[in-house]
């Protein structure tokens, strides 16, 4: 169990993610991003690497893949909103995307 993202962290951590291509979900207190890759293998490789981190954190993305795109939504179901775990996983995914 984790806590919802604090008001302070919404002004700092969340803003930083919004500068980096994340968007707030229109209907939920969640963040979304669609990553685009060169091809399906690169997209699936990203998902495989992200999945290992997600499992280690015990925090799992809602995501879908179509060919070279991976659409990600991050939310913490336990708090029905964004928590520090979503910030953590978002940063990891951005880092994996670059490598």
Interacting residues toward ligand H2B by CB under 6 A: 58-60, 75-78
Residue number, nearest CB to ligand H2B: 77
Closest separation between CB of residue 60 and ligand H2B, Å? 4
Strand partners, 76: 81
* CB 39 within 8 Å of CB 68: yes
Query: How many Cβ atoms sit within 10 Å of the Cβ of residue 56?
Result: 9
Calpha distance 57→40 (Å, rounded): 25
Considering only CA atoms, which of 81, 80, 89 is closest in space to residue 22? 89
Is the CB of 43 or the CB of 59 nearer to ligand H2B?
A: 59
Closest separation between CB of residue 63 and ligand H2B, Å? 10
Calpha distance 1→4 (Å, rounded): 10
Closest separation between CB of residue 86 and ligand H2B, Å? 7
Closest separation between CB of residue 16 and ligand H2B, Å? 20
């Amino acid at each position: 169990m984790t806590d919802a993202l604090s008001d302070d962290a919404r002004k700092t951590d969340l803003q930083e993610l919004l500068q980096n291509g994340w968007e707030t979900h229109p209907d939920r207190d969640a963040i979304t991003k669609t990553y685009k890759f060169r091809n399906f293998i690169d997209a699936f490789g990203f998902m495989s690497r992200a999945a290992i981190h997600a499992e280690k954190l015990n925090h799992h993305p809602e995501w879908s893949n179509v060919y070279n795109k991976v659409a990600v939504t991050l939310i913490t179901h336990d708090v029905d909103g964004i928590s520090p775990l979503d910030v953590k996983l978002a940063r990891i995914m951005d880092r994996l995307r670059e490598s």
